[in-house]
Amino acid sequence: MNFFRLYIFFLLVSISFLSCDFLVPKKEENLIARVQDTYLYESEYLKLFPDNIAREDSLLFANQIINNWATKQILKQKAILNLDQNTQEKFNRLAEAYKLDLYTNAYLDALVTKEIDTVITAIEIDTLYKQTALNFKLNEEVLQFRYIVINKEHKELEKVKEKFLKFDNNDKIDLDSLSIQFHSYMLNDSTWVKKTQLLRRLPILKENDHIQLLKKSNFLQLEDSLRVYLVRVNNLLRRGEQAPLEYVKPTLEQIIQNKRKLELIKQLEIDIRKDALQNNEFEIYN
């Protein structure tokens, strides 16, 4: 605890002593506040205190923490006095069930993380895609494209354009080596990208209905006062069409992983019960 927190702490303790008409036992010297027979101690208080708080805000936060804690304790105790027994028992069962879920889920997650096979083969992905392809419909247009944005005065503009259009393996290597000279670029034209993402990267496409030129196997060369924009659309799929495998591959991988996780959890639960029975830790009475 830094010096200022220590100061705030002792100030609050002093206020607590002065405002109470009873003496706090010596063993409770680290007491911060009290609501009837429920106490807020320093260790709990410090856990509630924000880290890296500004000096001028410390006292304000200290008061807020204490007031919030006190309000909840007062409301809890009034609820206990005013809620019927059945409601209180219901809340206790819910609290115990939630606590049990937290423990069991944390333990199972740790076991699953340790045991689960994270390798997903192309065959698994392809099989699942064929089984579920009709479930994957595009909700917006997606494209496969490449583009280069280059200064209009670039001395090798025509050479760059030629390689951009031809785009064989050597051209790809050459363009990649020149990429540091481009204002921006994307040369991986096998990736499916949302049309909205392309428009964010190249706002010029929104001007003068250039967006209408985004068609399959189409090349665009656009200009503004400073730059030239080279865009080549390899493929385009419309909204409502079936999503391509590569586009939904991350979703397919997640589905496979989730299925593995559920199956592993089911088997772990069976094994845990079996081990407990064998070790006489679990018994069913007839």
| Residue 182 belongs to a domain | yes
In this structure, are 155 and 229 located in the same domain? yes
Task: Give the H or E element holding residue 213.
Answer: none
Q: How many CA atoms lie within 13 A of 129 on its CB side?
A: 18
Residue 98 lies in a domain: no
Q: What is the rounded CA–CA span in Å between residue 63 and residue 32? A: 11
Residue 38 in domain: yes
Is there a domain that residue 110 lies in?
no
Residue 20 has pLDDT above 50, yes or no: no
- DSSP code string of 99-165: HHHHHHHHHHHHHHHHH------HHHHHHHHHHHGGG-B-SS-EEEEEEEEEETT-TTHHHHHHHHH
Q: How far apart are CA 120 and CA 252, in angstroms?
A: 10
Q: Which domain holds residue 52?
A: 3-82
Q: What is the structure's pLDDT at 129?
A: 96
Q: 39 and 33 in contact (C-beta within 8 Å)? A: yes
The CATH number for 149's domain is 3.10.50
Question: How does residue 271 score in pLDDT terms, banded at 50, 70 and 90?
Answer: very high
Q: What is the pLDDT at residue 90?
A: 95
The token pair at 89 is 């028992």
Would 97 be classed as within a structural domain? no
- Which residue from 157, 141, 159 is spatially nearest to 149, judged by alpha carbons? 157
Residue 36 lies inside a defined structural domain of this protein = yes
Structurally, how many domains does the chain consist of? 2
- Kindly indicate the confidence band of residue 48, based on its pLDDT and cuts at 50, 70 and 90: confident
- CA dihedral sign, ordered 213, 214, 215, 221: positive
Kindly report the pTM of this predicted structure. 0.70
Measured distance CA(52)–CA(57) in Å, rounded: 10
pLDDT value at position 45?
83
Question: Do the domain assignments include residue 269?
Answer: no
In a domain, 91, yes or no: no
DSSP-derived secondary structure letter, 212: G
Q: How far is CA 266 from the centre of its chain?
A: 26
Q: How many helices (H) and strands (E) does the chain have?
A: 9, 7
117-120: list long-range contacts, CB under 8 Å, 24+ apart.
Answer: 117/260, 118/257, 120/253, 120/256, 120/257
Q: Rounded distance, CA 187 to CA 189, Å?
A: 6
Domain-terminating residue out of 47, 82, 117: 82
Are residues 151 and 71 part of one domain?
Answer: no
**Is the domain of 78 the same as that of 165?**
no
* Average pLDDT over the chain, rounded to an integer: 87
**pLDDT tens column, 59-74:** 778 888 899 999 999 9
**64 and 145 fall within a common domain:** no
* 3 state SS of 216: coil
Residue 47: predicted pLDDT: 84
